[in-house]
Structures are given as structure tokens and as C-alpha cells.
Chain A
Amino acid sequence: MRIAGTTLVIGDDVSTDLLYPGRYLTVSDRAEQATHALEGFGADWPARLRGVAVLGAGWNLGCGSSREQAATALLAAGIRLVVARSTSRLFFRNCINNGLPVIADEALANAVQTGAWLEADLAQGIAGHAGQLYRFSPLPDVLLAIVREGGLMARLARVARENAA
């Protein structure tokens, strides 16, 4: 599973209140969620995600509330990979279980702070950035399988279809 794109960089201890403010929790339309992604940083931030495929972050990304819109709004805004020094447990789970892969790797997260083009092979655990090659621990197979399938809801739909057939 290969992902490539430019990176938008945010800092350490970014809470889900910053990733997706609580007042938009009722918004179910994914396209509309995308217009509020990162809005906690300021009204101009959602637009900065245009054309960006990778979110680069520091330590403890997604701390705080369990709101999964923090992950689904990023997905809807076009983010295909999250690279952080570390993530909160709930944010990590919400990403994986909605089909957004996460690499928690200090060296790679430090490298992407420049915001340049990143290419990553998730299954192999190899990433290329600014002419350098990085190795990281790939996601466990069971989690990679969930990401490949597009998240738990895609899996649930498949199971429901199979049971009906």
C-alpha cells in the first residue's frame, strides 16, 4: 500500500478540539466536515489542506475527546496518511478504523517537518523524503487489513452483504 503527496505540518499536543471543534459534531456530511478540519487553529486553516495528502505532527497528536470527526474530517479533506512522533490512543484508533493510515515514528516525523513530498510504502515500512530513505515499523497486519478495506464500516457493509447473499 503506497501513498505519496505533500505534507502539512502541525505541532505537538494538538487536541481534537483544534483538529475539529466540538460545535460541528452534528455535521454528518463528510464534505462539510472537511470545511472544518483544523479550524480550531483559525478560520484560514481548513483551506491550507487543499492539495495536501500527508499530515505531519509532533507528539501526542489528537489528545482529548474521542470525537472521530477529527479523523474523518481529515480524510474528507484529502489527507491519506498521518505521520506523527506519537498519537493519542483514541485518535490512532479512529484513524485506523476509518481507513486513514498512521505512522507513529519519531525520525520520519522529524523529517517531514520541512513539508516536502513524501512517499511511503505502508506494508514494507519504507518512506522516501527529500532524497532520504527512512524505515519505520509497519502497522500490524490486522490493522493494515482494516485500512486496506477502507475502515470498519466498509468491513461491516461487506459482512452484511455476505450474510444477506
Chain B
Amino acid sequence: MKPQTIAEKILSRAAGRAVIADDIVEVAPDWCFTVDDTIGTVIRYHRDAGVTRLAMPSRIGIFCDHYAPADSAEHASDHGRGRRYAAEHGIAHFFEVGQGISHQICVERGLILPGDLVFNSDSHTTTLGSVGCFGTGLGAAETAYVWACGKIWLRAPPTIRITLEGRLGPGVDAKDACLALLQAHGARLATYCAIEFCGPGAINLDIAGRMTLCNMGVELGAKTAFFAADQVTETHYRALGFSIDVRRAQPDPGAFYAREITLDLSAIVPMVACPHTVDNVHAADSQGRVAIDQAFLGSCTNGRLEDLRVAAHILAGRHIARGVRMVVTPASSVILAAAMQEGLIQTMIAAGATITTPGCGACAGLHLGVLGDGEVCISSSSRNFQGRMGNARASIYLASPATVAATAVAGFIPDPRKREKVLF
């Protein structure tokens, strides 16, 4: 058989036949999840179409993350409809308000395994490629269709291979690597393609860093983004008590790649994506004195324990600037509990930050940090489109957790590697 990329390998298994890039095939996913902002539509579609039985209830999960706790009666009713539907149809997983963001929960609990094909009605499902899953987003009608039929059409993506070299320097984050890729190649680099991150630098990135890179794969246009399963993946699953088959999520030698790109991690500096596009990227220290009103630390891109540690380290013994507010939203309850255990939450509160319920938080622009007219936010999330954080008259800069924390303290965007100089 022809050597296959990870994407071709996983889709071949899901389609029950050998698949190569650009084939349109019908696939049966291992999982099909949805989140609270889509569940109401899925249920309504089923009712309207006369669907009474689900094809795969044991492979379905519903996550309350986009507006949890509910910020309105309508959203609370969506949660209620989801709970009742899950109970009526024997849906395997219902993740309650406060448990966290779907992608974070999937990885940190080992819900999904390397080599799985996973759908979720959320564009950042690419995050799951960090553990070798083919994770990709679906719309509401598609999700309703999969829940009813257990399968759907998919176009097998060509793959772009990004070879990582070296190691990130101090004060530089996987987020800066994402922003560097966006700066160098633009937001259309991988439209309708898969990305495989590989090379000697991959081993230097932990699961958290891999999640950030795969998460922002969708900002490069990718359908899905992978790290091949390796010893980092095995260690992650072993700690959770699972043994995995890494071969399910590894490419064949000689697989065909549509494009090859090299990224030297050691050459990357702190970056910011300036308003209003994700690829309007510049070095963080090149922006002059951009004053900010809000700093947001959270999201499926950068709301993990590793991110909170970096921020708390910068905030320790300091206070955020006058007139600035800092909103911290851990990506899951597991992260929140661990951050409390480590004293990170106490440090951040002492510095003047506020901590919210775990979930998507301010990123989706629905609650917990919506911006005011003319305001400027620096955010560790993944999107700065006009209107993204709930106000078309506000501006969003995207940056790493370190840059977000250093900015909150300074009141304007500094280079986090030079924070001592900036602060005193």
C-alpha cells in the first residue's frame, strides 16, 4: 500500500478503505462531541427531521463551556435541553458547568486516544492533534447528522509538514511559535490541509505546548494539525493509567507531503498579533507604547496549568497597572484545583487579577470579560477578529501568557524577556 500521512492513515481506518489526499469519503468517527452553543440547534434539527434514535450515544459527549454558568435565560435553557437530551438518549458524557473547555477535558482525562477520528462542533477541535488524534470541527447540521447516522462525508486533506528545530528560548512560548508561523506564512497557509509537526524540536515541546500549536492550526486554515504520537504522548497517557498504540498516529516513511516548512524554535522572539487579523503579527517589543484596558489569560489556546505558572511567576510580588483589569479563566476545573494547590491563584489575586469559572470565558465574546467601546485587550486566546470579544469597537492583541502577564503589570505591551527593565 502507498505510504500514508497520519491524516490518510486515520481516515483510511474510519472509511474502511485506503484513502489518499483529496478523496471524498464517508467516515465513521470514533467520537462526535458538541458544546453548549450548538446543542440547542442539534436537538431542534433532530426534532424537525423526526430523528428518534441516535446511532452512537456511547461515543457522544456534550460540554457546557461557552457560557457556563449561564449568562442568560436562553443559554441556561440550552444547558437544560442538553441535560435532558443526554438523559433521554443515553448519551455517554455530559460535562457540567465549570468542568472546563471540551478540548482540554478530552486531553487531560484521556477521553480520546491517539489515532482516533474526533468531531466536535467547535473549530478549535484541531487541539486534539496534540495527542495524535484527527480532531476537526463540524457545524450544527453536520453534528446532528453524525449523531443520527454515525457517519458523514469528508474530504481527505493533503498534508503540510512543518519540521521543528531547536528549543524555545526563556520567556518564549509555543504561542509565539504559532504567531511566528502566521507572520511568515499568513492565515491561508493550510486552507483545507492537515499539518504534521515533526522534527528534532518536537520532543522539546510538552503536551501543553503541542496543544497550543495544534489549536492555532485552525488559524492557519488547517482542517486538523498533528504531532505524531511519541514518548511524550506515551508519558502523558501512562500518567493517566492508559497504554497506547503509538503506531495508530504515526506517518509512514515516504508519505507524500504537499509542502515542507522548517521552523527554528530557538530563533523565535515574543510576538503579538495586532488588530484585527491573526496574521497581523509583529515582534512584541516593536509596538511602541500600546496601552491596554484588559488582560485576558485563558482559553483552549493558553489556559493551562503551565500558562498559569508562567503568569504567576511574572505577577508574584507585583501588582497589575492602575486602570487595568486582568481576567484569568483556567481551561478546566482540574487546572483550577492544581493552580490553587500550587498557590498560583493566590499569587494572581494578590497581584490584582480576578479568577473566573473554568471554561471558554471572554474568548468567545459572550460573557466574563466582554470589552467596552474603544477598549484594548491583550489576550492569550487565538482570535482577534473585529467583534470577537463581543464589541466591534474594541481591539484585541494576541500574545503568550508571559506577554499577557507582563503587559497587565506594565499597562502597555512590553517584551516579557525584559520585564525587569520595564517594570522598575
Contacts and interface: CB of A to CB of B under 8 A. Distances in A.
A and B held together in a complex: yes
A25 B45 contact: no
Contacts of A60: 187-188, 191, 221
Nearest to A94: B139
A79 interface: no
A2 B152 CA distance: 26
Contacts of B122: 66
A78 interface: no
A97 B140 CA distance: 10
A65 interface: yes
A17 interface: yes
Given A86-B191, A153-B48, A28 B385 contact: no
B385 A18 contact: yes
A22 interface: yes
B49 A28 contact: no
Contact of A156 (B74, B137, B149, B153): B149
A90 B199 CA distance: 29
Contact of A153 (B145, B191, B277): B145
Contacts of A17: 365, 383, 385-388
B277 to A, nearest CB: 6
Interface string A7-20: 00000010101100
A29 to B, nearest CB: 11
Contact of A21 (B48, B52, B136, B387): B387
Contacts of B145: 97, 152-153, 155-156
Q: State the majority secondary structure of interface residues on A.
A: helix
Contacts of B75: 26
A90 B392 contact: no
B153 A161 contact: no
Nearest to B224: A89
B285 interface: no
A164 B365 CA distance: 42
Contact of B188 (A25, A59, A92, A156): A59
Contacts of B140: 68
B201 interface: no
B275 to A, nearest CB: 12
B123 interface: yes
Interface in B46-67: 48-52
A15 B223 contact: no
A113 interface: no
A150 to B, nearest CB: 11
A90 B144 contact: no
Interface residues of A, number: 43
Interface in A138-165: 140, 142-143, 146, 151-153, 155-157, 159-161, 164
A156 B49 contact: yes
A26 B45 contact: no
Nearest to A23: B390
B138 interface: yes
A61 to B, nearest CB: 10
A99 B221 CA distance: 23
Interface in A76-108: 86, 88-90, 92-94, 97-98
Interface in A13-70: 13, 15, 17-18, 21-23, 25-26, 28, 40, 59-60, 63-68
A94 B141 CA distance: 8
B51 A28 contact: no
A66 B138 contact: yes
B74 A26 contact: yes
Contacts of B78: 26
Contacts of A160: 49-52
Nearest to B72: A26
A143 B153 contact: yes
A120 interface: no
Given A18-B385, A26-B40, A63 B142 contact: no
A71 interface: yes
B149 to A, nearest CB: 7
Contacts of B149: 156, 159
A101 B136 CA distance: 22
A66 B40 contact: no
Contact of A161 (B50, B223, B387): B50
A25 to B, nearest CB: 5
Interface in B33-51: 37, 40-41, 44-45, 48-51
8 contacts: A22-B365, A25-B366, A68-B140, A89-B192, A92-B192, A97-B142, A143-B24, A156-B49
Interface of B: 24, 37, 40-41, 44-45, 48-52, 72, 74-75, 78, 121-123, 136-142, 144-145, 148-149, 152-153, 187-188, 191-192, 219, 221, 223, 277, 364-366, 383, 385-388, 390, 392
Interface of A: 13, 15, 17-18, 21-23, 25-26, 28, 40, 59-60, 63-68, 71, 86, 88-90, 92-94, 97-98, 140, 142-143, 146, 151-153, 155-157, 159-161, 164
